[in-house]
Structure 1
Amino acid sequence: MASSALSHDMPVAIFASAFFCKVFYYMRRFLHIEKEPVKVLVTCAAGEIGYAIAPMIARGVILGANQPVILHMLNTDAGALKEVKMELINAAFPLLKDVVATTDAKEACEGVNVAVMIGSLPENEGVESKDVMSKNVSTFDAQASALKEHADKNCKVGGSLNCLHDISCFKTSFFFLLNIAPSNFLELLLNIDLSTLYPNVNHAIVTTSSGEKSVRELVADDNWFNSEFKTSVLQRDAAIFRARKRSSALSTASSTCDHVRDWLLGTPEGKWVSMGVYSGGSYGIQPGLIYSFPVTCEKGEWSIVQGLKIDEFSRSKLDATALELIGEKALAYSCLN
């Protein structure tokens, strides 16, 4: 009799087990709905920096490990662009849902949520600054128009980001001097513009085995900061170019990803980073300039950190950078007009 009851209950148990497995399967699918892909534009995508940054974005470096992306790649060389697209597809990045490769700015900007603008001409010896500026202004003006007309209305646009590798150089200098990993740096303030580049270490902190330490106190050599260190950071790009006969693409791509990720995903609680943002007059910098400020980021919005102490030497360097930027801005507007 017991055997009969057991055999009677078996189909019910099997049905119940199959039913709950099915329910669990659909619940799991429901709870793990894949996010909508974010469309990321990369200009000059077949260039050295573009080639380096595209796989980083495809891996989720700027938007996180769970955010699918669609890469929109813009370049004037269709053949080179096709080669980069083929490699991205061959790499089979799980987060990369599609690749749009085009020479048309309007098509490249269609519906993009994030734009990484890395294609600008550098100044070369024997070429007038105005000639270089004129070409860059023309390029960015056309791309800006395409973004305004075709991008998502809330698109986040990172301007010409080629200078960001200097922040990596800044950290690397201390890595060799103090044997401290670059990832252990907490705060850096870097004001970048050509000959007036000034790496301000007054607020730089590193994490050591005995806790957080001031970089200035650890090095204890102001002469080195104001001479060899500054020169090393300023000339790092040229040194890399001499060594590899190409620009420093990898470090630029990596630091650009760090910059955009901090902006979009936010800075760690209680920490700040340096970003080139619009000046409203903070720290005595003329309103309207794009200048390197200490900022915190949250939900895609940045906020300038106020109240940091600026010594007399730093003040003179910051003002020199501001003056040069004012001249660059005037030159850009003259080309635009």
Structure 2
Amino acid sequence: MFKVLSRAFSQQLKDPVRVVVTGGSGQIAYSLLFRIASGSLLGENQPVILQIYDLPHMQAALRGVVMELLDGAFPLVHEIVASDLPETIYANADYAFLVGAKPRGPGMERGDLLKQNGEIFVKVGQALDKYANKNVKVLAVGNPVNTNALIAMSNAPSIPKENFTAMTRLDHNRALCQLGTYLNAKVTDIGNIAVWGNHSPTMFPDLSYVTLNGDKIRGKIDNTWYEKEFIPVVQQRGTAIIAARKASSAASAASAAVDHVRDWAIGSNGNWVSMAVPSDLYNGEYGVPPGLIFSYPVVCVNGAYQLVKGLKLDEFQQNKIKVTVNELLKEKEAVADLIRK
């Protein structure tokens, strides 16, 4: 373990909050940590204590990341703690970005990935339960995110279920980009996109309620483009990026993680955002059974998220949601022994 204090270059208007990032020497964390340190996460008057975890054999690389963070001379970085000890990293954590997970290797079945990463997230959940602030806000970024978040949540019974989420904001942002290009519009002018379900090729990026500058425009979107181009492109965007750059998306994933937690903590200003959250909270609404971490359209207010209710689903939407529900049920079944009852 190593701990360093950063010099304070500006007045600290608030007490620092503790932000955990796991997989600290990996590509996503490398982008994420500098965004957090710069104030992109919680604002320019919120100091942070970075608590960065990686495996024992990655500590030398992690030390290099810490050196670079220090060299950035970030005014908001109150302290940096880097370690392979859960009791050190998760201590009194206010926010936790669970980035560290095994990547899917050549020839590896999804079930194998589920099992191996599930075992990691059992330990993560137990560590959060034992050491973290009981109001900690948790975001699973390491894949398969929905089921990993479910496993962590089930192994942290003293932390409220609603504090565990998984990231589909990357899919939401990808959908915004694709629609903005199609409409020749700024992404800030587009509203009411929804991403339902799993962060996988079964996800359903839904334009049924979309607006442009506040006006509903679904009837102006060509159905062939929507069903044959838009949905598959968003679903397969990660695969396309791997094919292009020979590595998985990292900077865009880190940016989406910042977006997710920032809006959750500070508010989404009335905008719909997509978050994978416990379906137990919603009593089967939209045909989603309890016991899953499922992506819904939500609005974030005062440190909490609220489901967008009362949406009417047509047969096309219901079928798309059913596909991704079934996939998540199968994933849950595959790791049933890791989910604490």
TM-score interval for Structure 1 and Structure 2 normalised by the shorter chain? 0.7 to 0.9
Match of 2:290 in 1: 287
1:312 maps to 2:315: yes
Counterpart of 1:68 (choices 37, 47, 64) is: 47
Please list the CA deviations of residues 73-103 of structure 1 after superposition, one character each: whole Å capped at 9, or x if unmatched. Answer: 1111101111111111101111111111112
Is this contact kept in 2: 1:191–1:198, CA < 8 A? yes
Q: Which residue number corresponds to residue 68 of structure 2?
A: 87
Structure 2 counterpart of 1:231: 232
- Aligned residue runs from structure 1 range 6-17, under 5 A: none
Per residue, is there more helix in 1 or in 2? 1
Distance 1:136 1:70 in 2: 27
CA deviation vs aligned residue, 1:188-210 (integer Å, no higher than 9, x gap): 10124323221110112222xxx
Deviation of 1:120 after TM superposition, in Å, equals 2.5
CA distance in 2, matches of 1:320, 1:58: 39
Q: Distance in 2 between matches of 1:287 and 1:108?
A: 31
Distance 1:192 1:282, change over 3 A: closer
Match of 1:56 in 2: 35
Superposed displacement of residue 287, structure 1? 1.4
Partner of 1:17: none
**Number of the residue aligned with 1:165:** 170
What does the per-residue CA deviation read over 1:275-299, in whole Å, with 9 as the maximum and x for residues that have no partner?
Answer: 1111131112101211111222222
Question: Could you tell me how far 1:213 is from its partner in structure 2?
Answer: 3.3
Deviations 1:294-321 (A, max 9, x none): 2222222222121012111001111111
**In 2, Cα distance between the equivalents of 1:123 and 1:205?**
37
Corresponding position of 1:213: 215
Q: Secondary structure at the match of 1:196?
A: coil
Q: CA deviation at 1:159?
A: 2.3
Q: In 1, are the aligned partners of 2:169 and 2:259 still within 8 Å (CA)?
A: no
Whole-Å separation in 1 of the counterparts to 2:332 and 2:238: 23
Distance 1:308 1:109, change over 3 A: same
Alignment of 1:100 with 2:81, yes or no, is: yes
| Paired amino acid for 1:274 | S
The one-letter code of the counterpart of 1:93 is F
Check whether the contact 1:39–1:112 (CA below 8 A) recurs between aligned residues. Answer: yes
Match of 1:116 in 2: 97
Letter in 1 for 2:233: S
The alpha-carbon deviation at position 176 of structure 1 amounts to: 2.0
> Contact (CA 8 Å) 1:201, 1:215: kept in 2 or not?
no
2:300 is the alignment partner of 1:303: no
Select the residue among 19, 24, 45 that pairs with 1:40: 19
Is 1:245 aligned to residue 224 of structure 2?
no
Tell me the matched-pair count: 300
Which runs of 4 or more aligned residues in structure 1 lie more than 4 Å from their structure 2 counterparts after TM superposition? none
Whether the aligned pair in 2 keeps the contact of 1:49 and 1:249 (CA below 8 Å) is: yes
Structure 1: give runs of 5+ residues left out of the alignment. Answer: 1-31
- TM-score norm. by structure 1 comes to 0.84
For the residues of structure 2 that align with 1:121 and 1:197, how far apart are their CA atoms? 22
Instruction: Report if the CA contact (8 A) 1:78-1:102 is conserved.
Output: yes
1:198 aligns with 2:204: yes
TM-score by length of 2: 0.83
How far apart are residue 146 of structure 1 and its match? 1.2
Q: Larger Rg: 1 or 2?
A: 1
Change in Cα spacing, 1:242 to 1:120, as seen in structure 2 (3 Å) is same
Matches of 2:102 and 2:188, distance apart in 1: 30
Q: Is the 8 A contact 2:52 2:81 kept in 1?
A: yes
From 120, 123, 144, give the equivalent of 2:125.
144
In 1, Cα distance between equivalents of 2:12 and 2:80:
22
Q: Retained in 1: the 8 A contact 2:21–2:97?
A: yes
Asked if the contact 2:201–2:236 (Cα under 8 Å) also holds between the matched residues in 1, the reply is: no
* Separation in 1, partners of 2:288, 2:330: 14
Change (3 A) 1:121 1:182: farther
Superimposed CA distance per residue, residues 33-68 of structure 1 (whole angstroms, 9 cap, x where no aligned partner): 621100000111211100011011111222122111
User: Which blocks of at least 5 consecutive residues in structure 2 are unaligned?
Assistant: 1-10, 142-165
Q: CA deviation at 1:238?
A: 1.5
Query: Which residue in the other structure is 2:273 paired with?
Result: 273
Contact 2:277 2:293 in 1 (8 A): yes
In the alignment, the residues of structure 2 paired with residue 206 and residue 148 of structure 1 have an alpha-carbon distance, to the nearest angstrom, of: 43
Q: Root-mean-square deviation (CA), in Å?
A: 1.8
Q: Distance in 2 between matches of 1:162 and 1:189?
A: 13
